[in-house]
Structure 1
Amino acid sequence: MSKLSKLKKYFSISDTAKYLSNALEEPVSVADIYELAIEGKLKISARLIDRAYAISTQLAEEDNKQPGGLIKLPDGKRLALNEQIQVIDGIWDLAMIGMELHSIKAHYQREISGPEPRVNSVPGFYVCRDGKVYRLVSSLPLSSREHVGEVLSDELENLLKTKGLTYQDLLDNDAASLLECMNDEELEEFTGLTFVLGLDDLAEHEFSPEELPLKPYSYQLVITTSEIGRLLDSLDESQDKPESSRERNNKLVLIGALLEELNIDPNIRGVTSAVQALLDLRGVSFSDDYIRETLKQVVIAMESKRNKS
């Protein structure tokens, strides 16, 4: 990989496959990445393109009553949903408990040209970071304005900002003429926001929704460089590392001490046959050459150990 790549905080799924292929010196496909994620061996993250709205969650007892409701997870635990809407952005790990898990399964099936998976996940799209789990929301409930008022104001301000407008522009000028630059979808969003926020003089017609739809949250699937490093480290730890000469010598000295305790001299003639007989009694068998060579190394290791003492 290039030097510039070392500065990156995340890689796309396809770039992750290329990176791992180079690092492991074996082919790694995009399908492999999705499969590792489904098996819980690799974390896939969502890089939010724009800010998203979400509600926080927490683990709850089965009999716990939460205003936001309880979601039963596949492992039997229950997730309590809070009412407060929050704004989140940046990179978040997929929690892999809701529709985000189904999405990864669907990506995997498409990579292997398999059938579309059935939807059997927990409702909602969940992300997590620093031990906190959030469910993204696609609409704002209007039954309790105190929980969404700040978010609605923020959403209206962002909508106006895309058109180069501010609250004050609407108050100081003819709102209808200023909003001509909005398309039908934006006007509908503006009307709903102004009605709910009590800016009735800016709303052009009656509007009383139970929920206010939001723009669909958009994101890019990525793998963070720290997660790639964790995966590579775990693969290194799972492989058998070559035994160091020091470890081997220590084992030979241990064998030598046991032989001395048994009054077996590894230097005497015929000791190979005696050791083989002991092994046979315990159902173990090695060749004469292997035993003879090992005993020679035991003698060398013992002499080296005594000289250093």
Structure 2
Amino acid sequence: MDKKIKINDYVTFIEAANYLSKAFGESVSLAEVYRLILSKKLTASIRLLNPTCAVGGRYISNEGGHSCNDEQGIILVDQMKRVVFDQTPCLIDGIWDLPLIGCASFFIEDLYQKELNEVAPIHTGVQGLFICQGNSFFKLQNVVAFPSDDKKKTSLLAKLFPILNNESVSLFDLIFKSDSDVQDLIKKTKTDKGIAAFKAFKKQPSSKFVFDDVLSLEQQGHQLIIRSDELLRFADLSKKDVVVEASMNDSKLGKPSEEYDLLVLIGIFCIKAGVEPSARGVTPAVQKMVELVGVSMSDDCIRQVLSQAAQALDKKYCERTLTSKRRNTLLILIGALCSSAGITSFNEDIVREIQSMAEQVGVCKSHDFIKQVFLQSKSAIEKRQK
């Protein structure tokens, strides 16, 4: 396996699990590889099997401190920088890293939950499929052919493209190559039929194609991989400093910062429900809220979570590993508190208020994140009721 890692540029996720098992001297499952990717300790990559349409992006400073994505398509990468995209697509292929934004993070999360035989969470606000390589950043695109109102052009394409395709001219050739290059491709086949079809195609008044964002990895011919140098980097770092010990002990851990975020939201929703999480004797009131949504929970469990939520609001809470069971407990409490506060849906005003309260304790979360937690809390309550 060591020789294969050194010879090849990349390995599959299963091969990565086998290599790490050997490197650490203990079994590392595929679920744990997903967990390491989601916790950003290990970077996943994608190998595009065919030339793929994409729009390039450039990094810009996040001086305004934006906490979510822009309506004009400017994507928030982290708290320090954002990406603005070009309008003109190009063709790319090869191996690219997968930043955990947009639908890539949802796809990995779904694979992780499936490996654990658990129900995948509800995803909202899918923003596209993004890939990067050094300072290069791209958003993958689908070709939608011509505008729907250009019926003449669409009809002509349906008649002529099969002829051109038989002459080894792809849709990408028509879009991205010059007319002379396309004609050269057709001439190599030594047939007049393809050239005539191409000339008829080009005589039409419009040659514009329409593109839209790729919203799922399943829409692309791809292979999920881990670059060999990235796997070796992670393995070497882990041997020098046991940075993954907590992550390896439990295959059902939540994202490293997720517990803190959920506790902060519990503290905020306590306040919205008229409850001070650090006040004495508040546990029975919250326990009643939980019972009103059809779920039972011990007073010791509620008391502990309220104490931790108060610490999180005061920025004094030290995170611990987040198991699936504990995550569901926190989500149920959020759902019960929302119900008690009369929050049955999230409009812009409520989201902005929650965001503002969270930012005061150093937690900057997007509209999509808050809405997703709300939906997951409802799902957790329904699952517990059954």
Q: TM-score under structure 1 normalisation?
A: 0.55
Matched residue type, 2:51: R
Match of 2:223 in 1: 220
Q: 1:83 aligns with which of 84, 87, 110?
A: 87
Matched residue type, 2:38: I
Match of 1:232 in 2: 235
Structure 1's 151 and 223: CA in aligned 2 closer, same or farther, altered over 3 A? farther
Name structure 1 gaps, 5 residues minimum: 180-190, 201-205, 241-309
Matched residue type, 1:135: K
Matched residue type, 1:211: V
Matched, 1:95 2:95: no
Structure 1's 55 and 74: CA in aligned 2 closer, same or farther, altered over 3 A? closer
> 1:57, 1:73 → 2: CA distance?
12
Within a 5 Å distance, the mapping from 1:224-303 to structure 2 comes to 224-239=227-242
How far 1:84 sits from its partner (Å)?
2.6
> 2:62, 2:190 → 1: CA distance?
50
Q: 1:112 aligns with which of 99, 113, 116?
A: 116
How far 1:8 sits from its partner (Å)?
1.1
Verify the 8 A CA contact 2:52 2:93 in the aligned structure 1.
yes
Q: RMSD between aligned alpha carbons?
A: 4.3
- 1:26 partner SS: coil
- 2:223 partner SS: strand
- 1:223 partner SS: strand
How far 1:58 sits from its partner (Å)?
2.1
Verify the 8 A CA contact 1:92 1:129 in the aligned structure 2.
yes
> 1:8, 1:116 → 2: CA distance?
33
CA deviations over 1:2-27 (Å, ceiling 9, x no partner): 63453111110111101111111111
> 1:91, 1:53 → 2: CA distance?
14
> 1:174, 1:10 → 2: CA distance?
43
> 1:103, 1:157 → 2: CA distance?
41
- 2:54 partner SS: strand
Match of 1:51 in 2: 51
Matched residue type, 2:21: S
Identity of aligned residues (%): 25
How far 1:56 sits from its partner (Å)?
1.1
CA deviations over 1:177-222 (Å, ceiling 9, x no partner): x99xxxxxxxxxxx9x974xx244xxxxx99886268994311000
Match of 1:166 in 2: 185
> 1:149, 1:110 → 2: CA distance?
35
Greater radius of gyration (CA): 1
Structure 1's 194 and 49: CA in aligned 2 closer, same or farther, altered over 3 A? farther
- 1:90 partner SS: strand
Matched, 1:152 2:178: no
The runs of at least 4 consecutive aligned structure 1 residues that moved more than 4 Å come to 61-64, 74-77, 140-143, 148-151, 155-158, 169-172, 206-210, 212-216
| Number of positions where the alignment pairs a residue of Structure 1 with one of Structure 2 | 209
> 1:138, 1:58 → 2: CA distance?
20
Q: TM-score under structure 2 normalisation?
A: 0.45
> 1:207, 1:86 → 2: CA distance?
19
Name structure 2 gaps, 5 residues minimum: 65-70, 148-170, 244-386
- 1:89 partner SS: strand
Verify the 8 A CA contact 2:46 2:224 in the aligned structure 1.
yes
How far 1:130 sits from its partner (Å)?
1.2
Matched residue type, 1:14: I
> 1:216, 1:194 → 2: CA distance?
31
How far 1:118 sits from its partner (Å)?
2.0
Verify the 8 A CA contact 1:59 1:79 in the aligned structure 2.
yes
How far 1:237 sits from its partner (Å)?
2.2
> 1:10, 1:238 → 2: CA distance?
24
Structure 1's 6 and 156: CA in aligned 2 closer, same or farther, altered over 3 A? farther
> 1:152, 1:81 → 2: CA distance?
19
